[in-house]
Structures are given as C-alpha cells and as structure tokens.
Structure 1
Amino acid sequence: MQTVIAFIVIFGSLVFFHELGHFLFAKRAGIMVREFAIGMGPKIFGMTKGDTLYTLRLLPIGGYVRMAGDDLDTVELQPGYRVGLIMNEDNVVEKIILNQNSQHPNILFMEVERADLEHDLWIEGYDEDEKLVRYNVSRTTVVVENGKETMIAPYDRQFNAKTVGQRAMTIFAGPLFNFILAFFIFIVAALLQGIPTYEPIITEVVDDGIAQMAGMQAGDYVKELNGQPITTWQELSKTVNESYGKKIDMVVERDGKEVALVMTPKTLEDEKGKKYGQIGVMYQTPYEKASIVQSVQLAAEKTYDTTIMIFQLLGKLVTGQLSIDNLSGPVGIYKTTEAVAADGIFYLMHWAGLLSINLGIMNLLPLPALDGGRLLFFGYEAVRGKPIDRQKEGLVHLVGIVLLMILMVVVTWNDIQRFFF
C-alpha cells in the first residue's frame, strides 16, 4: 500500500505540474481551456469553474489540457437545424438548444439559415412565423445537445488563433514545469537532508572481504592513497576500481590516529567483460546542514547533471550502445519506486526529481504526438510563414500515437518479464 500511495503521489504530481504549465500559459495567451484532466479514462470527479472543467480520471497514467480549437471541437450549426434560443435581457443569445423537445418558458425556436459562432457571432434563420430573423450571440453562449453543454469559442480564444510564439510557449511550458518541479524538489530535499560532503569515511566493512583482512574498520577516514592525499569518496572509489590486482598503500584516520594499511583489490568483471577492483566496503554519504543559497546551488547542479545524464543515455540508445530492453514503462517505474521507497523519503524525493526531468526531456523529443513534435511543426511554420494543413499534421500525430502505444506495450512486456518471470 505504501508503494501504491508513493507511486500515485509521485506520478500524479509530475503529471499535474506538466499539465499546469500548459494550462497557465494557455490562460496567459487568452486561450479557452475546456478541460484540465489528471489521469485518463472514465471521469471519477469533475468540477466546472469559469469555462474550464477540472476532472480527476480513473487511470493514473497521464493527463491533458483540452484547449478550444486545438481538438476540432468548434461548434457548427448547419443550415436546416431546428434550434431553441434563450436570450438575455439585452436580446442577445446566451444558450442554443439543439433538442427540439426542450421546455423553457422563454425559448424561441428557429430553423437555422446561417450562423457565425467564431468571428462576428450571430445566428440567422426563420422563426415560427417563417420570418427571417437575426440575433447577436454572446461570447459565452452555451450550446446544449443531449444534455451536454459546450461553450462556444470565439476565434480569438482558440489555440490556432494565437501567434506561433504563444502556441509554442504554451506547449513548451509543460516540459518546462517538469524541470522547475525537479529543481524545487531538490531544494527542499537539500534543506531537509543537508548537502552531501562525500568525505571518504567507511560506513561498513564486509565480512571476509579484502578490506577486513587488511585491518580496515567501519568509521575509518581514508586520508591517503599511494602517498597522495584524498578528500572525497569518489577519489577512493576511482582508485580502487582502477587498481584491480595492484597493491594500494592507504593511510586512514582512526580515533584521532593515523593507521597505515595495505591491500590489493579483488579483480571482477562487469557484464561487458570490463575489469574493475573491489575491496569490500560500504559507503553512506555524510550530510551537513545547508543554507538556502547552498540548497539552491546544489539543486541547480543536480538538475543540470541529471539532464546531461539522461541525454547521454538517450545518445547511447540512439547509437545502439543501449538496447530497448533497458527502457522501463509504468511497471518498471512502479517496481523501482517500491525499492526506493524502502530506503526512505529522501531517496524517494530524489527519485521523483529524476522522473520529473525524465518526463520533461521525453516530451521534448521531436517525435509526433509529443510536445517536441508539435514544437517542430511550429518551428517549420515560423520558417515557412504559414501553418501546415491541420489534417496532415493530425495524421502525423496519429501515426506517432500508434507507434508510441506499440513501444509502450513492448516496454511494459519487457518489464513484466524482468520483474515477474
């Protein structure tokens, strides 16, 4: 249950902040947001505020911000439609009802001849006396069909009416907010946990290992290796890894005294046959209290280093140095979350930050159906001077969605085999 809660909270937070980025910049650009959804699938909760429906959906595997004009949801009234009109006190249409059986004391019925619900906002048709009439339509007019209400979206409030820069920023803001979220998670973790000192202090010595046989003890502070002073665990680890089969002269500080030790790291091989040394010690990073400035600096460094690391892994994936078997989907993320949660809240916070950056980068990849793919189209539009045909762009994104679904199925199946078989 602890893992389930941790997974939902982490994944829900990542999705929420991603979609919040899209939402805030859409609002800033004056775009009507029809729905802000967390989760996918059937709706389990919904609340309308202003012109936006806020929903929580059953499957915690994503979310979306549905913007007017971005999903071909514009309302069209075809000639011959028989509609009911409800007017406000200024005789302006505020509700259009497509159900002819609707009962309302002030409803006016009309057979539509023409209508413009995007630009000039009017509707024209024949009333019950066969007289041609025309009414202005409010910018907040609601169209009712089979009990479902949809507010019209004047063209200036539609996604595609905005400049290339406004649309691009609205799409880019999602991944951007994932980086911002990770940055703040790392700040909070540093303030609560402190900053790592990376001092080369031995936490635990493995029984019957090389280090124990050489006389090393838990708590030893390694000061010198082969006559050279060191100050970090990384220096110790690097020397040991590279000194397989070779003698190392060490000086450690123990109870205020210096003790000389000599040991030869055991030679091991990794999966690719590369040799490395091991002496049989455990390490746990020491931490010291951090100021706000130090926490911000550490968070910036960690955000940068994590970003570079993920890009390097992507590069290896593209060049074939990593296979698709190294990718993880929801099952793999869940199992890793389970392992990380067992190590404590700080490990969980760092894992959430890494996932947030990973989500931001994945969405920025220039692939159809992803934010990066849409940004690529915007860039092409900016150079070309006019947008690509929406149907052609939609077809490209549809193909992208299908390919991503296939990839997700393959990755999930690999996860299932890895963890359960």
Structure 2
Amino acid sequence: MHSIEIGLQIILMFFVLVSLHEFGHMFFAKRAGILVREFAIGFGPKLFSYKRGETRYTLRLLPIGGFARMAGEDPEILQVATGQTVGVRLQNGKIAQLFTDRFERLPNLLVGEIEDFDLEDRLFVTLKVDGETHRFDVLPKAEVVSEGKETQIAPKDRQFGSKTVFQRFLTILAGPVMNVLLAFVLFLIYTLAAGVPTHIKLGTIEAGSPAAQADLKQGDVILSVNGENIGSDSNRLVELIQNSAGEPVRLILNRGGEQIQKEVTPVKLGDTIRIGTALGFETRRTQAGEAITGAWNDMTYMTKQILVGFKKLVTGDFKMDDLAGPVGTVKFTAEIASAGVAPMIRWSALLSLYLAIFNLLPVPALDGSRLVFLLVEAVRGKPVDPNRESLVHFIGFAMLMLLMIAVTYNDILNLFQG
C-alpha cells in the first residue's frame, strides 16, 4: 500500500479514537450544564482552531491524546482586579463584554474603574465612572477580553465542581465508555468482513522446512490430522504438531477440490516445534448473531490479554522492548495497514479497547484516578481538597510523561537499529 494512504489511515485512526473519547466527556459535561471551554485533539501549539457556541475546537501539534477542558477543573483565572480601569459593553443594561486593555479606541464602550466585582456567584461589577459609582449586573455568558483573547466567564453553576458526584462521575466515565463501544463496533465490522472460519488453510511455506519437503502447498486446506477432524481449531492443530516432534503427522488435505494425504515430520525450528508454514482460514459469510457473539468473544479475549500486560507492568515482569510509545505504535500500525483493511479495523478496535482500559487505571492524571477521588467524595460526603487532588494529578502526569519519553527514546533506538 502506498505510504501516503497508510499515513492517512493512521491519522484517521488516531483522530477517531481520541475524538470519540473526548466527545464522551464533552457530551455528558454539556448535558450536566458544565461549560466546556475547549475540545482539543493533541497537545502543544495550536495548528487549527475555531469556536462554535461556547466551545473552541482545536487541533494541536503533538498527537499524543486530547482533552475537553471544562470550567472549574482548574482555578478560574480572569485578568480582572479591583482598582483596574476597564471598558465594558452593555446589552440591555447588563455587561456583555469586559475589556481589560486596548479599549481606548473601541466604540460604544463605557470606561471606568472597578470598585467591586463578582463574576462567579452574584455576577455584578461596580464601576466608578466620571466620579460616580454604578453597579451593573453581568450576563451569565459575558466575556472578558484581554490582549485580544475572549474568555467566557464561568458562574459557579457552570463549573465542574458544582455538579453532583453522579454527574461528574458520568462525565469522566463517558470517555472510556465511548472507546469500549467503538471497540465493539469495530470488532463487529471485522467479524462481518473476515467471515466465520470453517477450516485451516496453509499460508506461506518456508523454503527447506518439513512442510516444503512434504510437498505442502500454500492454499491447501487441512481436513484432519492423524484421523482427527480439525475444522478451524488452530490451537488443537498447533498442539498436535508440538506433541509430535520427530514423528510423522498424517494430514488429509483439500487441494483444488481433491482430497490428498501427506505426511510431515515436525522439527524444532528456533524455540518451538513447527513444520514451517503460516496458517490462515477458509471462511464463510457471517450471520448477524454469529457476528455479535464473535465480536463479544474477541473483545473479551483482548481485554484479558491487555489486563495480563498491565499486570506484568506492576510486577516488573517485562522488558523495555515490550513497551511501545507513539513511534513504535505508528511503526506497527503502518505494518498492519499494509496488510489490508480488515487487519487495520481489528487493530483499531484493539487500540480503542486499550485506550479505554488504560484510562480506567487508578493512576494519577488518568480518568480512573479521577473516578477514585469522586468515589472517596461520595463515601466521605465532602470533596478531597482540590489543591491536593491537583498535586496528585500533576505528579502522575509528570511520571507518565517521563515514561513516555523513555519509551519513545527506546522506540527511536530500535527504529534506527532495525
């Protein structure tokens, strides 16, 4: 496959996985009435940005994730202070925009000095204009404009922390749930596209291997092994071969519609006992019920494998080469994309499932850790100190970034070393 097409597939896959995850956060945040300031794909400098409604949508340089920035998750910082001279634009007698600078030449502004203000609870600003004091109400969606940048105010009832524990829990959980749903849909599409295996079919035959010496051909369909019908049970086939080192194995094959018999003697090749052939499947069209069952079984199996991998991380039973950062993931994804659309769909499903499970781990800075803090709040009846929680998430994020740098460095070394 052309490298440009592979690159576009990788970009599309990353965009869909991250977008759906962050869409889950944003959708339930807006349903709860939380102000979502930014919906971003990637981190770092902005490449593209536009604003629709209350939310700014951005595409950023570093393709290592994304975020839905909600009001109140971080301390609300607006460049407004008592004694400051500002310009305000009124709408029906209420403040719609407040300019902290560059307002001298703007038309239709009321200029004055702030004597008092509250932009979260009571929503008012008291201005001293030409020696007289005036109190103005502030619209709930008013904007503060500083250095040309517009920031919508966030009243308390629009901030993340003001919502119930259940609403916040649902908002955080929605991201991983969207990835689980996407994984199931992709596994379902793959199952429908790949078909239901009926028999094992031989793939590439290694030159000089026992399979080549026995005159096995690519495309031969295995009907039975030592008199035992195999069907599509590749695990049983491998078991029979590995238990027959140095002993002839009798195969009944279908070659071009004709049944033939061959004998092959497995030998030790590398670390395993093999006959030297790749395995594929002969398939039939998948029925709807079979597709749902197959997709569920595939997702369940992959979930177990992912959890086994995370367990090795905890126990330390892994090597650095077992981990893959962005560089390694892109390299492996490119190899899969070159194999065809169906393998790419299944790989995308696996990555979506991995993203969901990884984010649900109780690791600081991940969604799982935030859910733990919400559960603690539900049990205690009061939230954990926001400053302490922020510190925990910051430390966790820093540790994840250090791990990412180490893994990426190892990926690059492996890439140059072939």
TM-score (norm 2): 0.92
Tell me how far apart the structure 1 counterparts of residues 77 and 275 of structure 2 sit (CA, whole Å): 68
Specify the alignment match of 1:95 in structure 2: 97
Tell me how far apart the structure 2 counterparts of residues 257 and 52 of structure 1 sit (CA, whole Å): 65
CA contact (8 A) 1:8 1:60 kept: no
Specify the alignment match of 1:223 in structure 2: 223
Specify the alignment match of 2:144 in structure 1: 143
For the residue of structure 1 that corresponds to 2:201, the secondary structure is coil
Deviation at 1:138, TM superposition (A): 0.7
Deviation at 1:204, TM superposition (A): 4.3
CA contact (8 A) 2:194 2:342 kept: no
For the residue of structure 2 that corresponds to 1:201, the secondary structure is strand
Deviation at 1:258, TM superposition (A): 4.8
Specify the alignment match of 2:10 in structure 1: 7
Read off the aligned partner of 1:305 and give its amino acid letter.
Y
For the residue of structure 2 that corresponds to 1:199, the secondary structure is strand
Q: Deviations over 1:351-382 (max 9, x none)?
A: 11111111111111111111111112111111
Specify the alignment match of 1:273 in structure 2: none
Tell me how far apart the structure 1 counterparts of residues 213 and 397 of structure 2 sit (CA, whole Å): 58
Specify the alignment match of 2:81 in structure 1: 78
Deviation at 1:250, TM superposition (A): 3.3
For the residue of structure 2 that corresponds to 1:202, the secondary structure is strand
For the residue of structure 2 that corresponds to 1:118, the secondary structure is coil
For the residue of structure 2 that corresponds to 1:283, the secondary structure is strand
**2:122 counterpart of 1:126:** no
CA contact (8 A) 2:200 2:280 kept: no
CA contact (8 A) 1:198 1:234 kept: no
Q: Deviations over 1:60-112 (max 9, x none)?
A: 222111111112235374321222222112x1111111126433443222322
- Corresponding residue to 2:327 among 315, 331, 337: 331
Specify the alignment match of 2:405 in structure 1: 409
Specify the alignment match of 2:390 in structure 1: 394
**2:352 counterpart of 1:343:** no
Structure 1 residues 108, 54: closer, same or farther in 2, change over 3 A? same
Read off the aligned partner of 2:393 and give its amino acid letter.
H
Structure 1 residues 100, 13: closer, same or farther in 2, change over 3 A? closer
CA contact (8 A) 1:369 1:400 kept: yes
Read off the aligned partner of 1:296 and give its amino acid letter.
I
Structure 1 residues 365, 198: closer, same or farther in 2, change over 3 A? farther
Structure 1 residues 3, 257: closer, same or farther in 2, change over 3 A? closer
For the residue of structure 1 that corresponds to 2:44, the secondary structure is strand
CA contact (8 A) 2:253 2:261 kept: yes
Q: Deviations over 1:258-293 (max 9, x none)?
A: 5443333102453xxxxx310122222233222344
Specify the alignment match of 1:354 in structure 2: 350
Structure 1 residues 169, 419: closer, same or farther in 2, change over 3 A? same
Tell me how far apart the structure 1 counterparts of residues 256 and 392 of structure 2 sit (CA, whole Å): 68
Read off the aligned partner of 2:154 and give its amino acid letter.
A
Tell me how far apart the structure 2 counterparts of residues 180 and 209 of structure 1 sit (CA, whole Å): 44
Deviation at 1:143, TM superposition (A): 0.8
Q: Deviations over 1:162-181 (max 9, x none)?
A: 11111121111111111111
Structure 1 residues 419, 160: closer, same or farther in 2, change over 3 A? same
Deviation at 1:317, TM superposition (A): 2.6
**2:160 counterpart of 1:159:** yes
Q: Which moved more, 1:145-154 or 1:99-108?
A: 99-108
CA contact (8 A) 2:320 2:410 kept: no
Aligned length: 413
- Corresponding residue to 1:418 among 401, 414, 417: 414
Q: Deviations over 1:122-159 (max 9, x none)?
A: 12242222x33211111111111111111111111111
**2:42 counterpart of 1:39:** yes
Q: CA RMSD in A?
A: 2.1
Q: Which moved more, 1:297-306 or 1:361-370?
A: 297-306
TM-score (norm 1): 0.91
Structure 1 residues 104, 387: closer, same or farther in 2, change over 3 A? same
For the residue of structure 2 that corresponds to 1:223, the secondary structure is strand
CA contact (8 A) 1:266 1:277 kept: yes
CA contact (8 A) 1:341 1:348 kept: yes
Tell me how far apart the structure 2 counterparts of residues 125 and 204 of structure 1 sit (CA, whole Å): 81
Read off the aligned partner of 1:415 and give its amino acid letter.
D
Read off the aligned partner of 1:61 and give its amino acid letter.
I
Q: Deviations over 1:234-256 (max 9, x none)?
A: 32122213333344333334466
Structure 1 residues 213, 106: closer, same or farther in 2, change over 3 A? closer
Read off the aligned partner of 1:96 and give its amino acid letter.
L
CA contact (8 A) 2:199 2:283 kept: no
Q: Which moved more, 1:343-352 or 1:327-336?
A: 343-352
Tell me how far apart the structure 1 counterparts of residues 255 and 103 of structure 2 sit (CA, whole Å): 90
**2:69 counterpart of 1:66:** yes
Structure 1 gaps of 5+ residues are 271-275
Structure 1 residues 317, 198: closer, same or farther in 2, change over 3 A? farther
